[in-house]
Amino acid sequence: MTLMKLYTLIPMMPLIASIVIGLFGRQLPKAFSHLIPIVLVLGSFLLSLYALYISYHGYVFNENLFRWMTVGQYDLNIGFMVDNLTALMMSVVTFVSLMVHIYTIEYMENDPGYSRFFSFISLFTFAMLMLVMSNNFLQLFFGWEAVGLVSYLLIGFWYKKPTAIHANMKAFLVNRVGDFGFLLGIALIMFYFGTLDYKEVFSRVDSLAGQEFMLMGSSVSLVTLISILLFIGAMGKSAQVPLHVWLPDSMEGPTPISALIHAATMVTAGIFLVTRVSPIVELSSTALSLILIVGSITALFMGILGIFQNDIKRVVAYSTLSQLGYMTIALGVSSYSLAMFHLFTHAFFKALLFLGAGSVIIGMHHDQNIMNMGNLKKYMPITWITFLLATLALVGMPLFSGFYSKESIIEAVKYSEIVGSSFAYFAAVFGVFITSLYSFRLYFIVFHGEERWRNKSVSHNHHDHGLTKNQSPHETSWMVTTPLILLAIPSVLIGFFTIEPIIKSSFLLKDIFILDSHLALSQVTEHFHGPINMALHALVTLPFWLMVLGFIVAYLLYYKNINFIKTPKVLKKVIDHKYGFDNFNEYILAPLTIRLGNVLWKYMDIKIIDNFFVNGSARTVNLFSHITKKIQTGFISQYAFVMVIGLLLFISYFILGGKS
Amino acid sequence: MTGILSLAIWTPIVLGIILLLVQNKLSTTLTYRLGNLFGFISFLVTLPLYIYFDKGFSGFQFQEIYPWINHFSINYHLGLDGISLPLVLLTSFISWLVIFISSNSIDRAIGFYISAFLILSGLMIGVFLALDAILYYVFWEAMLIPMFLLIGIWGGPNRVYATIKFFLYTVLGSLLMLVAFIYLYNQTASFAILDFYTKPLSLNIQVLIFLAFFMAFAVKIPMWPVHTWLPDAHVEAPTGGSVILAAIMLKLGGYSFIRFAMPISPDALIFLKPFLIGLSLIAIVYIAFVAIVQTDMKKLIAYSSISHMGFVTLGLFILNPLGFEGGYVQMISHGFISAALFFAIGVLYDRMHSRNISDYRGVINSMPIFGSFFVLFAMANSGLPGTSGFVGEFLVILGAMQDHFWIAFFASLTLIFGATYSLWLVKRIIFGEVKNKKIATLKDLNGKEFFVMSVLALMTLAIGIYPALITDITNQSSQMMLGLIQQSKIL
């Protein structure tokens, strides 16, 4: 089998699973609904590992699969490019997807949409693979929108819930705002490079470095414009402020997809995109600064919101936003490989956090309010331990995977000299405290303290959800805990083992372009003396102690229940409204759109075009015929009278006219 | 292979007349079955056009030419090129689907109804194949009669206003077109379109000719601001009428721009380009806003059609290969997607007798298969990659960017607003808790409906995944057309 056929199989297997289960899942025995996708996704995972093996040994695969269409002199193709960057993404995507597939068996056990759910997550795996394996911008955009579609379908999976179908439409539309920029970026690339093929575009980007572009009367650098437009696309998918509003709401979907789509894979597509187009973005320091500042704002301010959430999934969702902000910061300081590194470690521990949260939700009989939880460590030991490990990885405990990726990013920001890097440094360092605070808050409230569901008031909002006073939660079955354990292993260890190749070797760097003048990453490399040294050194740095401080504050507030801080009312209000982004969209943007639509329709279309012009011309004709009708009375005498008068007027005109 | 073009035109017309004559003697079921068979035959006779078509040849194939009115050198002249072939196939195919599904919703005079569609289909194919201006004009005008009857007899309560508006709008435009033809005849002593192509004309004359054509074709497409007849006509038309109107009749406008206005008056086209692009952008953005606020689902889709046709005109008038091909693919794609959406609305209307969006909610609970199709077509309508709706929009935006950044910018807004009206419609109709008992007891698609939806879905996906299906046919001819347009005709 040729490599092309093999690589084609990787996305095709989940697609086949999706189609088979989507069309015939209800007719087949229930077990088929999970067996077929799991076997095929496992196949994809193994082949992805093989692809990683091949690319690791230095072979970059780049071939076209078929010609999509020909227009004039342009050929648009569908094809694959598999380098280390891609192979890494493929392995992460298929691994997390496989875990989620297994996990779903129990999570969705009694759901009437069982086979539909499997069909969708397999379809998602296909789309995500098409996105990362693409060798051109067209297919990238296809995968980009296709993952958006599946995200839409899955957020609205429980289509009876009004909140779910509001959230999925919101997610799609906000993403479309990003795609709007993305598509314009692609169109500019097509215009200036005459091709959408990565390799050709990147090889020619140097020649356009100095090109200027006229926009609104002033000239802008072309690479800056392209970079910013592409980044707007990334902002939508990777939920950066202000296009982040859809991600917290997307928690309306079933938890497995929150882990797969809204934590580990799809939301990192934007990070992947910017990394992939590093040869373009690198040439524009303006774009890099913008990326850096957007990332910093997201990392800091979304983390703060995480402290105040009471829905277990929303806490994790805000944490995801904040961590995506960290990745974006890394992009901004030209440390693409570090962004990918954090993406990589984050995929494991964040998927684990979500799946752990899902396990808690099962244990709590689908109650998601953490204020009804407590002391779950007694009832759900495996969930407890794995959740704790994920939390430690997230807060950046030395030796844990998240430590290596996040600490490297903070280091890189420190060395960076780009505009905005001092703010970014503050945001990244202070963000460590915030991360620690919200993570341990969640941990203490859920797994320690009193068993709150026992003393909650009888009436609560979710009818027939949650535990009653006398029930106790129970540990979930092996189908849930196995993925938890399998994800816990990389969450703890993978940073330790992979930081060396990522920082020291050219494993990722050979697929990334970094200008020589952007020193941040090389400084990090220079100061790196092995993973153990790095962990030891961390003990004397600020981020570590901020992390400890976050732990202590959370411990006092939520374990000891000592309320020594009071949130000021104004701040509380701002935070309750989540800085007002949703309010702006819902009370200003949406009504304005409707208003404009109505004005255009009722005034322009109906009043002016239809009533004035169309019916107006009909009326004019009518009026005219009305008048002329009156003249035609049928009486000869009247006609004769008019004729005589007319003649008189004519004659007098000529006589009088002739005289003067 | 001469004769296959005539066969494609006259088979449905003759079969339609036969059906008209025999329908009184047959039962309703038998009439339907016979009509369905006739429709299928009429579709089959267009297939040889595709099979024997030479993709490498840019000119007209299978030409037929017979003298018709010698005194004015008017000929019965037919020919097929890459521009007309996909449209002919689309016409015969969609017409058959409309006939196939007619038994679901038409309860009176079904024989008459089907024969109207058969005849209409033949006449529309005639428009796409005619290479003689007068022959074209005859088909173009004759086509209005069955459509007029379809809306007038099987239409809704306000059908008289709608038909008259439709008729007046169209006739006004076509008269000016006839004037242009006669002027061109005086110049060339011929009604052959190919002679019109090569006739040099001064810019002033070209502008006048272009505007005369423009009045006829812009109404048909329709372009803003001569679009207001379309929502009314759609709302009053029966499902089949809406489908044909949206899927094919609108394309007659786009096709005629390519066939007449653009190559005959290329310099006028370049002269008027900013104006034409402005109108197209208004259609794309303005009409999208209007579509968002519609409360009648058929009107919503009608406005969405106008907005999508804005992409067709934008692509054609941007005057580069990407835009041209994009505008063309958009026509074909819209033929399938809008047909599917109007069929879908018909499915709901047959069951609920309401087109008010607010009367619906949670349809997917009782009609899961229908709901899935609806989501698919709504996504296609909002230009999701992988569906045909994406291809045209994508290419047109690429083409627009080559002209000017801001044109691409405004055109791309459709990404947001197209998704807004499509998905909001889905949210209000398909998803959610069941609104009332009537919706809870709705029956899912029957066999015929399922068939129609499936083939349309397959076509939508096929073109989306492999658009070369269309562009390989059109490539040569569109390059030739663009070549003609880029050559100045001013002496």
pLDDT digits (tens, 9 = 90+) for A332-371: 999 999 999 999 999 999 999 999 999 998 888 888 888 8
User: Residue A507, SS3?
Assistant: coil
Is the pLDDT assigned to residue B154 strictly greater than 60? yes
What are the tens digits of pLDDT across the range A409-426? 999 999 988 888 899 999
Q: What is the pLDDT of residue B45?
A: 92
Cα–Cα distance, A392 to A344 (Å, whole number) = 16
- Considering only CB atoms, which chain B residues are within 8 Å of A67? 468
Question: Quick one: pLDDT at residue A1?
Answer: 67
Closest-CA distance of chain A to residue B429, Å: 11
With bands split at pLDDT 50, 70 and 90, how would you rate the model's confidence at B388?
A: very high
Contact residues, chain B, for A153 at CB < 8 Å: 375
B202–chain A Cβ distance below 8 A for any pair: no
DSSP class of B68:
E
What is the per-residue pLDDT for B277?
94
CB-based contact, B338 to chain A, within 8 Å: no
Does position A464 have pLDDT exceeding 80, yes or no?
no
How many Å lie between the alpha carbon of A580 and the closest alpha carbon of chain B?
A: 22
Residue A463: pLDDT over 60 = no
Contacts of B364 in chain A (CB under 8 A): 159
Q: How far apart are CA B425 and CA B413, in angstroms?
A: 18
* Both structure tokens of B147: 């459509």
Q: What is the DSSP string of B212-228?
A: HHHHHHHHHTTPTTS-T
Taking residues B69-80, report their average pLDDT: 87
Tell which residue, A524, A529, A528, has the closest CA to residue A514: A524
C-alpha distance from A369 to closest chain B C-alpha (Å): 24
The string of pLDDT tens digits covering residues B398-422 is 999 998 889 999 999 999 999 999 9
CA angle A544, A340, A519 (to 5 degrees): 75
SS3 breakdown of chain B: % helix, strand, coil, rounded to 5? 80, 5, 20
Task: Calculate the average pLDDT of chain A.
Answer: 87
B424 close contact with A: CB closer than 8 A? yes
Place of tokens 């003396």: A529
Does the pLDDT value for residue B62 go beyond 80?
yes
The pLDDT value given to residue A270: 93
CB contact B427 to A (< 8 Å): yes
Residue A530 has pLDDT above 80, yes or no: yes
Is A184 in Cβ contact with B427 (below 8 Å)? no
Q: How far apart are CA A109 and CA B273, in angstroms?
A: 60
Q: Does B391 touch chain A (CB under 8 A)?
A: yes
For chain A, the farthest-separated pair of C-alpha atoms sits apart, in whole angstroms, at 121
Mark yes or no for CB contact A173/B385 under 8 Å. no
Tell me which residue in B394, B402, B415 faces A191 most closely, judged by beta carbons: B402
The pLDDT, as a whole number, for residue A376 is 87
Model confidence at A310: pLDDT above 60: yes
A249-306 pLDDT, tens digit per residue, is: 899 889 889 888 888 889 999 999 999 999 999 988 899 999 999 999 999 999 999 8
- Residue B172 sits at the chain A interface (C-beta within 8 Å): no
Angle separating helix axes B84-105 and B4-22, nearest 10 degrees: 20
CA distance B252 to B137: 12
Average pLDDT over residues B270-298: 92
CA nearest neighbour of A277 among A214, A213, A232: A232
- φ, ψ dihedrals at B228, nearest 5°: -70, -10
Phi and psi torsions of A329, nearest 5°? -55, -45
Whether residues A146 and B385 touch (CB distance < 8 A) is answered with yes
Quote ipTM for the complex: 0.91
The closest CB to that of B397, out of A156, A183, A601, belongs to A183
Q: What is the largest CA-CA distance in chain B?
A: 72
**Mean pLDDT of the region A519-534:** 86
Determine which of A19, A65, A68, A71 to mutate to test the interface with B (most B C-beta atoms within 10 Å): A71
Tell me: the pLDDT tens digits for A12-62? Answer: 999 999 999 989 888 888 888 889 999 999 999 999 999 999 988 888 888
Given a contact cutoff of 8 angstroms between Cβ atoms, the answer to whether B232 and B220 are in contact is no
As a whole number of angstroms, the distance between CA B55 and CA B400 comes to 27
| Vertex A340: Cα angle to A335 and A342 (nearest 5) | 95
Looking at chain B, which residue has its C-alpha nearest residue A163? Answer: B432
Residues A187, B397: C-beta atoms closer than 8 Å: yes
| Contact map slice: B 272-291 vs A, CB within 8 A | 286, 289-291
* Chain A residues closer than 8 Å to B362 by CB: 159-160
Calculate how close chain A gets to B211, using CA atoms only, in Å: 19
pLDDT tens digit sequence for B85-144:
999 999 999 999 999 988 877 777 888 889 999 999 999 999 999 999 999 999 998 988
Chain A residues lying within 8 Å of B160, measured CB to CB? none
* Contact criterion met (CB < 8 Å) for A74 and B384: no
User: Cβ contacts of residue B392 below 8 Å, gap of 6+?
Assistant: B311, B312, B315, B326, B327, B328, B329, B330, B331, B333, B334
Q: What is the mean pLDDT of residues B301-317?
A: 93
Say which DSSP state A604 is in.
I
pLDDT in the model for residue B421: 92
What is the C-alpha to C-alpha distance for residues A267 and A260, in angstroms, rounded to an integer?
A: 9
Rounded CA separation B373/B430 (Å): 10
- CB proximity under 8 Å: B 149-168 to A: 165, 168
Average pLDDT, chain B: 89
Q: Number of Cβ pairs closer than 8 Å across A and B?
A: 142
| Residue B488 DSSP SS3 | coil
Is the CB of A68 less than 8 angstroms away from the CB of B401? no
Q: Which residues of B touch A613 (CB under 8 A)?
A: 225
- Rounded (10°) CA dihedral A103, A104, A107, A113: 180
Any chain A CB within 8 A of the CB of B425? no
Taking an 8 Å cut-off on Cβ atoms, the answer to whether B420 and A180 are in contact is no
Q: Which of B290, B322, B416 sits opposite A173 (nearest CB)?
A: B416
Side chain identity, residue A397: M
Query: Over pLDDT 90: what percentage of chain B?
Result: 49
Looking at residue A212, its pLDDT comes to 81
Cβ distance A173 to B365 less than 8 Å, yes or no, reads no
A222, A108 contact by CB (below 8 A): no
Q: Chain A within 8 Å of B420 (Cβ-Cβ)?
A: yes
Q: What is the reported pLDDT for B63?
A: 87
- Residues within 8 A of A (CB atoms), B 16-75 only: none
**What's the pTM value of the predicted model, to 2 decimals?**
0.90
Distance (Å) from the alpha carbon of A104 to chain B's nearest alpha carbon: 22
Query: Is residue A206 a contact partner of residue A223, using CB atoms and an 8 Å limit?
Result: no
Q: Which site among A120, A601, A617 would you substitute to test the B interface, given the most B Cβ atoms closer than 10 Å to its Cβ? A: A601
Separation between Cα atoms, residue B241 and residue B151, nearest integer Å: 7
The Cα B192–Cα B149 span in angstroms is: 31
Q: How much is the pLDDT for A658?
A: 56
Rounded CA separation A535/A525 (Å): 15
| B373 band by pLDDT with thresholds 50, 70 and 90 | very high
